[in-house]
Amino acid sequence: MRALILSDSHGKVTDVKAAIIQAGDFDVLVHLGDIECSKSAITSLVDCPTYIVAGNCDRYSDLPAYASFEFGDKKIFASHGHNYYIDLGPQRYELFAEENGFDVALFGHTHRPFYDKGERVTLFNPGSISYPRTEDRKRTFGIMELDDKGELHFNIAEALPTFKVLEEYESLKAEGEYDNEKDIASGAIKRLLKKLLN
């Protein structure tokens, strides 16, 4: 099983779409808040279960404050993190997740990637897909993967330039070489990476 984890897109649906194309196959999409657009603007881009929570900038939306779900046999908790004072550190959030029997606690809000595999709870923040607050200013998203042995693996991926991803995708789609969205997305990313590496 594979999940695409996004956060803090702040209305930039094109960044979300480009990350979906770049991520390839996944079974679940999680957005950890500050979408600043309609939920359907994101859910319409995928054909899989979605968990989208409200961030501090989504306060007038009807999005839930948190989501909890099972990923294989793992219990996942997802929230933006601001209600748990995540800016002051992850301790309160980790304690909440531990006390409530979660294996993983996902959060956003800080616009910085974070990963900590604790003894009982794994904390994971994919960073911001649109407005990073890291020194290198790299936009990022996360992948959570459950392998055949039931082990979870987390990866922070650097987002490719949005306009280039969408340009390659639309170009390949217009050529008509592929007849399904997944093949078009995969082909577009391969072609873009080849161009960027040359």
Q: Which domains occur in the chain, in start order?
A: 2-159 (3.60.21.10), 161-198 (no CATH)
* pLDDT digits 0-9 by tens, 136-165: 999 999 999 999 999 999 999 999 999 999
* pLDDT digits 0-9 by tens, 13-51: 999 999 999 999 999 999 999 999 999 999 999 999 999
8 A C-beta contact, residue 76 and residue 104: yes
**In Å, how far from its chain's centre is CA 32?**
7
198 has a pLDDT exceeding 80? no
Choose among 186, 138, 177, 196: nearest CA to 20: 186
Q: Please state, in angstroms and as integers, the Cα–Cα distance from residue 148 to each residue in 1, 2, 48, 119, following that order.
A: 9, 11, 21, 21
Q: What is the pTM of this model?
A: 0.93
8 A C-beta contact, residue 30 and residue 141: no
Length of the chain: 198
